[in-house]
Structure 1
Amino acid sequence: MASKRRPVESVKPEKKRKRKRSCEEPAELCSVLEDQQVKQTVREAWGQKTACTQGDLELDCHPFPHCIIRNFLSNESFVENLQRELLQLNFHEKSNDLYKFKQSDDLKKRTEPHIAGLRSALFGRFRSWLGEVLGVELEATVDISCAKYEYTDVLLCHDDELEGRRVAFILYLVPPWEDSDGGTLDLYTTDSNFQPESIVKSLVPSLNTLVLFEVSPVSFHQVSEVLTEDKCRLSLSGWFHGPSLERPPRHIEAPVPRSLHLPRDETLLMEWVNPMYMDISYQEQIQEEFEENSEIQLKDFLQEEKFREVREALRLSQIQWTKRGPPNKRCYEAASLDTLPQCLSECLELLRSEAFFLLLSNFTGLRLHYLTYRMEKPRGLHPNHHQRIRAERKSRAYLCVVVKCVDGLLADTHCCMMQKQRRQNWQSEFGGFTCYVANEEDEELLTVYPEDNSLALVYRDKETLKFVKHVNHKSLSESADSSTRRAFYDFSFVYYE
């Protein structure tokens, strides 16, 4: 009996797996990082919070520990190619209350040879070196992006705090840079409440220099406004992740004291307010529009003569201006009330008077005064468009009132929100506008620009936040005197319902 044989299976030659060719260009780091004695010296100095210098490496502990490593990448051609690859990336405009600059997407998956090579070196060999210096185990988390700061770009005072961030770093890839170009990394001292006070050190960007510092309760810093119009401040920055340093409880500022209206009658209104706003039928029209849009600007609000007096009074040298902080929360100059000339004191009295409370009630329909003529209440700024009304009204709403005077004298300092200026029309590119945003959202609900003799009324609830945008160097006048700049004064009040 013939036996059955299994059919012979044809054996196909095994295909060789193609190895994925690596396009990564190795990054050679500064030789000082290979020296074990240097590593030990830096570790001891960091632990004892003392300064030390080892070749291209400098450690300083004032106002908080930070390390500067010059010539971080030992190959000049690598640096040039890295710059070229970074400049070819897509950059996105980033702008809010804290900053204005352009930023790339996260670079953790970029495959350009020099970007990939630097990323491997930073989060490989250098991460191990840094972990040994700090005496902590840093995670392999890759957190790195590229930023471009150009004319008037800025990153205001902050501490980098976010869960998991342990060490911040910046690698500069800039052309020859001077202090006068701006864009310095400014380091702040802090007070007993761990709040930033003043800038005590400014680091000028330098090509192929790495700066790093631990993220801590006192690591307040900023990127000062870029003042040069023909240079780009290009940098790579990110964070090494690890166990966070212990943080004290958040400092809570004392609430601003509230005060009752002053018992003044309508005679004060007649002396100061444009007569057309005293007309009852016109007040009803204003109230209807305010109820619909939750905001309105009333132009030429003060009588022309009174407004002229106010504007001229603001030029008087007797007024004492004090800078308000802390700089991570606010930056403007406030007038000392006991130094105000009579005209300005009367204007403030107007805005705090019982008669003005009643007038605002008639403008808005809010019960700011018990004699209010009341229509339907406004419903707050809509999350998608400020001319739409909310479906449901929030509790504890309040009215923000700002009377702006776009005029003044010579500037004392460029970073104040209330600076002195020549009379000029205000332009949006100067900054200085008030922006309203929904809590934990980036979308603008409303933007109010400075305008002469304009009463801006905005109804907002506890879910709506506001900020005044940094006044930048485009506000400099075109005159030969570079110390003259545009800016504005305002009288700002919050009235609670």
Structure 2
Amino acid sequence: PAHYNSFEPGRMVFYIKPDFFSESFKTEFRDCYIKKNPSEISKNGTFLKHVPFAFAKFDNFVQLKHEMAEIKDTKKLVQLVEDETEKLPYVPRSNDLFTFSQSCDVINLCPKDNSSEDCKFPLLVGFRTFLLDCVLPWLKDITKIPLYDNKVDLTSSFYKHGDYLLCHDDVLEGRRVAFIWYIVPEDWNGQTDGGELQLFESQPVSDGHKSDDDRNFFPTTISTTIPPKRNMFLFFEVSPRSFHQVTEVLGYSKRISLHGWFHGPSSWTVNNKTVQSIEKISPIHIEEELIYQWINPVYLDFEQITKIRRRFHRTSEIQLSAFINVKKWKELVQCIQSLSAHHWLHCGPPNRRNYYCLSNTHVNDVPDICKQVIRLFKSEAMLVILSDITGIQLHPIALISVDRNVAAISDSKNAGEDAPKSKRVRTDNLVDLTVTSVANSQYSLPYLTEPCLRKLQPGSYTLLSDADMSNQGWRVECLLHIYGHSLKYHNKKTQLQGVNSQSTCNSSCCGQTVYVANSEEDELLTVTPSDNSLTIVYADPDTSSFLKYINHAASRLSTYQNQMAIESNLNHLRSADQISCSNADHTDKDPIQLFDLSVKYFDSRPDPQDSNYLQSDDISETSSCSSLNEVESNMPFTEDCDDDLENDNAVEENKNKQT
């Protein structure tokens, strides 16, 4: 027998299991696939079904064609292919949709002169030849799908613990049939090891089209779950309905597969996804008492706000710890933890987002404390406070209050020792503020999204889309991280001056929000949440953001982090006997739940095409943000903020000289 490492790359060592190649099988399969008679096949290692879309899988698909010196049987052949895949150079890939490692296309492994001497991966090259010379004509015969000859994409993907691939449809011009050949361990268990392929039901978008070939679809519920199996081959026809995902790998075994697409003329039209409108709301008036009941008084203190504004002007983002008064925060946490399932509405579709939000279907059923925090963040008072914190002109009153406080500080210094060291930001003017007065000031208040109180848990995420890249002017994004994220340690002297929201934590288990440039793949900013903190990010149309997939390690890691936070010097915020996340709070049987509130404040400049709606298909998750290190010249800051920054820089330069 020939030595397998010396065979010519084009020589066949693979072939299809004879049971799948017989004429009787192909006839039966063809009738079921095309005529749907019978409606499905499930026998002799074959499974074909048309729900939620046509797919088929074949057990023990690949067989050894010729016995060789080092390959005595099919089992050994598959093992040697696996060995070659493990030697491939894999590139870690991670974005909003997936996290896994992938090789180059196998075509790049083929020797340029087709010689065997330079072929370092002969079996992988041989498998590609097998796909083109054997599998491709076989698929054309049993499905009658028109496929191009000599055209196949083939790569290897390696999923480690925690890796995943979220819901998508594979739709790309030219792709006709997607396929996967699994080479996972023999004892792979989908329930404990994860990594299962899940297929989604779908519904058409109401866009006026009558033909399914021209319609857009969106996924709804999971219809079929297929655990990977060694030497199993699976294929499905790519279409606007072929939504699928790979579940998170829970075990520590290697999940390796060879997969790709056969190409052919598309039977459907690639349409731009329908862009749904987001309703914009106007800010409301609230009672002044609500401000002082909820917001930590430190963030109404002018000197503290000045320091925060300087930091924000440098970085375009900031995270304010202990933003809500502790008493109110504890009441809010206790309330949202006690809410039953009917209070929460699942937010989808899965190709855009997956989490729960507080339902406002029955307004009278929403607890009053939840109504209060929502009203707070949709109020004009919050616009004033955000204006003073960021220096961005969100409200005309803020410009007045800054001038008055500057004068107040100056007067107090001249008044002697009895003068107070700082003045509180003026919010009493909001009580008498009317829409007319704002109109008379020739200043348009920004619009905002309805504040969304979200419940996140393992499996929650949001995804980007082309609609997020639309030019809608700048915006300010706010995330109030309520509970479940653990606490960061801050020195008592500096914790309330605002900290940068980035962290060395690179885990996807804690509900991070990631900002990316539309034209680049690199992450600009990763926001790591902390309990009872408010993250503020200045956003412009050139970047977008998404909630990173929360993996199933969250329940274990957050338990540890919160317990460590309790044991650290954080008793001034909460203690173990109050509302801490102790080991009794989160177990594997009771997955962690994270709670936050998301709201966005948009540029008040009117949209010439639509004065009532913003064109985007995501109301509370994906967004655009500034490039963070190049935005200072574009940010609509108040004039005093520039003076603050100059003074701050002068102080820092002086400190450096002293050092």
Distance in 1 between residues matched to 2:151 and 2:383, nearest whole Å = 56
How far residue 248 of structure 1 moved from its aligned partner, in angstroms, is: 7.0
Is 1:125 equivalent to 2:134 in the alignment?
A: yes
Aligned: 1:312 with 2:334: yes
Equivalent residue in structure 1 for 2:298, among 266, 276, 294: 276
CA contact (8 A) 1:51 1:61 kept: yes
Matches within 5 A, 1:356-367: 356-367=382-393
User: Could you tell me which residue of structure 1 aligns to residue 188 of structure 2?
Assistant: 177
Secondary structure of the structure 1 residue equivalent to 2:279: coil
Number of corresponding residues: 443
| Alpha-carbon distance between aligned partners in 1 of 2:136 and 2:164, rounded to the nearest angstrom | 28
1:125–1:54 Cα change, 3 Å: farther
Written as runs of structure 1 = structure 2, the 5 A alignment for 1:197-212 is 197-212=220-235
Structure 1 counterpart of 2:157, from 147, 163, 185: 147
Letter in 2 for 1:205: P
Deviation, 1:33, is 3.8
- Asked if residue 486 in structure 1 is aligned to residue 581 in structure 2, the reply is no
For 1:426 and 1:325, the matched residues in 2 are separated by 30
C-alpha RMSD over aligned residues: 2.3
Q: Residue 349 of structure 1 corresponds to which residue in structure 2?
A: 375
Offset at residue 402 of structure 1 (A): 0.5
Which residue of the partner structure matches residue 566 of structure 2? none
Q: Identify the match of residue 8 of structure 2 among 22, 34, 51.
A: 22
Q: Distance in 2 between matches of 1:151 and 1:449?
A: 21
Counterpart of 2:178?
Answer: 168
CA contact (8 A) 2:478 2:534 kept: yes
Q: Using the TM superposition, give the Cα deviation of residue 61 of structure 1 relative to its aligned residue in structure 2, in angstroms.
A: 0.8
Give the direction of change, closer, same or farther, for the CA distance of 1:251–1:22 in structure 2 (3 Å limit): closer
Question: Structure 2: how far apart are the matches of 1:139 and 1:461?
Answer: 46
> Is the 8 Å Cα contact of residues 406 and 426 (structure 1) preserved in structure 2?
no
Alpha-carbon distance in 2 for matches of 1:445, 1:52? 49
Classify the secondary structure of the residue corresponding to 2:388. helix
5 Å-filtered alignment, 1:52-451, equals 52-53=41-42, 55-74=44-63, 75-110=74-109, 111=119, 112-135=121-144, 136-175=146-185, 176-180=187-191, 181-193=193-205, 194-229=217-252, 231-247=253-269, 249-264=271-286, 266-318=288-340, 320-337=343-360, 338=363, 339-373=365-399, 396-407=473-484, 428-429=506-507, 430-451=509-530
Cα shift at 1:132: 2.4
Conservation of the 8 A alpha-carbon contact between 2:510 and 2:529: no
Q: CA–CA distance in 1 between the matches of 2:81 and 2:547?
A: 37
* Cα offset, 1:137, TM superposition: 3.1
2:537 is equivalent to residue 455 of structure 1: no
In the alignment, what sits opposite 1:496?
602
Q: Secondary structure at the match of 2:162?
A: coil
Give, as a single letter, the amino acid of the residue that structure 2 aligns with 1:178: N
Equivalent-residue separation in structure 2 for 1:163 and 1:276 (angstroms): 56
Residues of 2 paired with 1:200 and 1:402: CA distance? 34
Q: What letter corresponds to residue 468 of structure 1 in structure 2?
A: L
Q: Which residue of 1 aligns with 2:31?
A: 44
Within the alignment, does 1:470 sit opposite 2:549 as a pair? yes
TM-score (norm 1): 0.84
Q: For residues 41 and 286 of structure 2, what CA distance do their matches in structure 1 show? A: 66
Where do 5+ consecutive residues of structure 2 fail to align?
1-5, 64-73, 110-118, 206-216, 403-470, 486-502, 560-582, 604-659
Residue 453 of structure 1 and its aligned partner are, at CA, apart by: 1.0
Change (3 A) 1:21 1:38: closer
Q: Is the 8 A contact 1:265 1:355 kept in 2?
A: no
> The residue matched to 1:298 in structure 2 has which SS?
strand
Q: Is the 8 A contact 1:159 1:219 kept in 2?
A: yes
Contact 1:189 1:196 in 2 (8 A): yes
User: Residue 277 of structure 1 aligns to a residue in which SS?
Assistant: helix
Worse-matched range after superposition: 118-127 or 278-287: 278-287
Structure possessing the higher relative contact order (Cα contacts under 8 Å, 6 or more residues apart):
2
1:427, CA displacement in angstroms? Answer: 6.1
**Residue 21 of structure 1, CA deviation:** 6.9
Deviations 1:56-90 (A, max 9, x none): 33221111000111111112221111111111212
Deviation by residue 1:202-242 (Cα, 9 ceiling, x = unmatched) = 0011110001001101100010111113x111111111111
Counterpart residue identity of residue 55, structure 2: H
Q: Which residue of 1 aligns with 2:70?
A: none
CA distance in 2, matches of 1:449, 1:185: 30
Other structure's SS at 1:494 match: strand
| Separation in 2, partners of 1:431, 1:233 | 24
Name the TM-score, length of structure 2 as normaliser.
Answer: 0.64
Residue 428 (structure 1) shift: 4.5
Question: Does the 8 Å contact 1:152/1:472 carry over to 2?
Answer: yes
Structure 1 CA distance for aligned equivalents of residues 472 and 229 of structure 2:
52
Which residue of structure 2 lines up, in the alignment, with residue 12 of structure 1?
none
**Alpha-carbon distance, 1:39 to partner:** 2.1
Code of the aligned partner of 2:598: S
For residues 530 and 181 of structure 2, what CA distance do their matches in structure 1 show?
41
Unmatched 5+ stretches in structure 1: 1-19, 376-393, 409-424
Aligned partners of 2:260 and 2:519: how far apart in 1? Answer: 23
Contact 1:183–1:224 (CA under 8 A) maintained in structure 2: yes
- Is contact 2:173-2:270 (8 Å) kept? no
Q: Distance between the aligned counterparts of 2:171 and 2:483, measured in 1?
A: 36
Contact 2:147–2:176 (8 Å) recurs in 1:
no
For 1:207 and 1:431, locate their aligned partners in 2 and report how far apart those are by CA, in whole Å.
33
1:150-196 deviation digits (Å, cap 9, x = unpaired): 22211111101111111100101011222312111001000132110
Distance change in 2, residues 1:179/1:426 (3 Å): farther
CA separation in 2, counterparts of 1:134 and 1:370?
66
Q: Which whole-Å CA distance do the structure 2 matches of 1:349 and 1:132 have between them?
A: 63
User: Which SS does the other structure have where 1:457 is aligned?
Assistant: strand
